[in-house]
């Protein structure tokens, strides 16, 4: 009987050229490559490649890494990577390592396996997102309390809000409008001499004084041909008929200070009805006088 050679558990003899590791080593040596050359091509640590050549899968992090490293090794030296991966998978699953350390996933390439730092960062992001969603859901699903409902019902609306005492109130801008009731030439200018309106206004034309006009004044020879209103209120004529007026203020304050237009000629003011005088009967003369 041939003498049996003792081996360490989980380590296959490198002389068995039928094993995946032995085939990979033979192919590498046939190409004149060193184990460091393969490590450079695959970006796999040299000690892990040496473990694959020894078929020492217990020295690797796990089954997926054993299969993935062997596949990358085979691809780097132009060996059938599918066959190598299948042989490594069968060898691992038939060993004690496969029974005790089975893992369900298999990386396609060990160079693509994420680092531990990246995995921890992704886990932290997931935890933060889950916590944020839980807080948001709690706030949305929690019904308002009785006090909160009462406060919302009694709170004044913005429209009903009143200005604080002592707060300045913006003045109401009164619109000044000049309307020609007959053809009339005029010039309206401000305190700096800038002409706001200059020229002939035909009957029916109108001009609205700019709200930002500074101390506006008027020059015209026919003031009776203009109808002036402030905020829709009629103003008395700016001067006597067919008499030239100049430097007459026409801002809203000055015009409102003028007297209201006189009533039209022929209008009779209403008077209270005269009281009926009592009728006094004279005494009748005596008969025979």
User: Which residue has 């304050």 as its token pair?
Assistant: 253
pLDDT band at 137 (very low <50, low <70, confident <90, very high): confident
Helix 81-93 with 63-76: angle, nearest 10 deg = 150
State the residue range of the domain holding 24: 20-112
Cα 269 to Cα 13, 233, 265, 274, 275: the distances in Å are 135, 21, 11, 15, 18
Strand partners, 195: 189
pLDDT band at 180 (very low <50, low <70, confident <90, very high): very high
Residue 182 shares a structural domain with residue 108: no
In the predicted structure, residue 3 carries a pLDDT above the cut 60: no
Of 112, 127, 143, the position where a domain reaches its end is 112
In the predicted structure, residue 267 carries a pLDDT above the cut 80: no
Question: Which residues, in sequence order, are CB contacts of 71 under 8 Å at separation 6+?
Answer: 81, 82, 84, 85, 88, 108, 109
CATH code of the domain covering residue 58: 1.10.260.40
User: Does a structural domain hold residue 105?
Assistant: yes
- The total number of structural domains that make up the chain: 2
User: Does a structural domain hold residue 161?
Assistant: no
User: Does a structural domain hold residue 202?
Assistant: yes
Percent of all residues in the chain with a pLDDT value above 90, rounded to a whole number: 40
Of 87, 112, 137, the position where a domain reaches its end is 112
User: Does a structural domain hold residue 250?
Assistant: yes
Phi, psi of 17 (to 5 degrees): -70, -10
- The two structure tokens encoding residue 137: 């859901």
Residue 104 shares a structural domain with residue 31: yes
Dist CA 248 CA 217 (whole Å): 5
User: Does a structural domain hold residue 163?
Assistant: no
Phi, psi of 21 (to 5 degrees): -65, -40
Q: Say what the pLDDT of residue 94 is.
A: 72
For the entire predicted model, the pTM comes to 0.35
Strands (E), the chain: 176-180, 184-189, 195-201, 206-208, 217-220, 226-230, 233-234, 245-249
Of 112, 141, 163, the position where a domain reaches its end is 112
User: Does a structural domain hold residue 137?
Assistant: no
User: Does a structural domain hold residue 262?
Assistant: no
| Predicted confidence (pLDDT) per residue in 66-122, tens digit | 899 999 999 999 999 999 999 999 888 876 555 554 444 444 455 555 566 777 888
Dist CA 47 CA 180 (whole Å): 106
Provide the H-helix boundaries in 142-181: 146-154
Dist CA 220 CA 142 (whole Å): 74
- Rounded to 5°, the CA angle 194-248-178 comes to 75
User: Does a structural domain hold residue 38?
Assistant: yes
Would you say 179 and 229 are in contact if contact means Cβ atoms under 8 Å apart? yes
Cα 10 to Cα 6, 203, 281: the distances in Å are 12, 115, 156
């Amino acid at each position: 009987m041939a003498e049996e050679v003792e081996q360490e558990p989980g380590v296959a003899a490198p002389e068995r050229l039928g094993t995946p590791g032995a085939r990979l080593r033979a192919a590498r040596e046939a190409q004149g490559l060193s184990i460091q050359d393969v490590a450079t091509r695959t970006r796999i640590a040299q000690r892990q490649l040496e473990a694959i050549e020894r078929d020492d899968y217990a020295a690797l992090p796990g089954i997926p890494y054993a299969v993935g490293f062997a596949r990358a090794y085979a691809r780097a030296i132009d060996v059938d990577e599918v066959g190598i991966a299948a042989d490594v998978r069968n060898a691992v699953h038939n060993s004690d390592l496969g029974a005790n350390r089975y893992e369900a996933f298999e990386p396609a390439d060990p160079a693509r396996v994420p680092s531990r730092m990246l995995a921890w960062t992704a886990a932290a992001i997931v935890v933060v997102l889950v916590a944020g969603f839980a807080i948001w859901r709690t706030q949305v699903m929690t019904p308002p309390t009785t006090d909160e409902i009462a406060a919302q019902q009694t709170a004044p609306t913005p429209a009903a809000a009143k200005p604080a005492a002592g707060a300045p109130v913006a003045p109401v801008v009164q619109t000044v409008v000049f309307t020609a009731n007959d053809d009339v030439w005029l010039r309206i200018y401000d305190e700096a001499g800038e002409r706001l309106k200059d020229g002939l206004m035909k009957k029916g034309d109108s001009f609205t004084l700019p709200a930002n006009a500074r101390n506006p004044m008027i020059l015209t020879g026919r003031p009776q041909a203009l109808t002036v209103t402030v905020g829709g209120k009629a103003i008395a004529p700016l001067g006597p008929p067919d008499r030239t007026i100049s430097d007459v203020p026409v801002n809203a304050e000055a015009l409102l200070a003028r007297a209201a237009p006189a009533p039209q000629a022929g209008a009779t003011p209403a008077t209270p009805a005269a009281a009926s005088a009592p009728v006094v009967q004279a005494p009748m003369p005596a008969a025979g006088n």
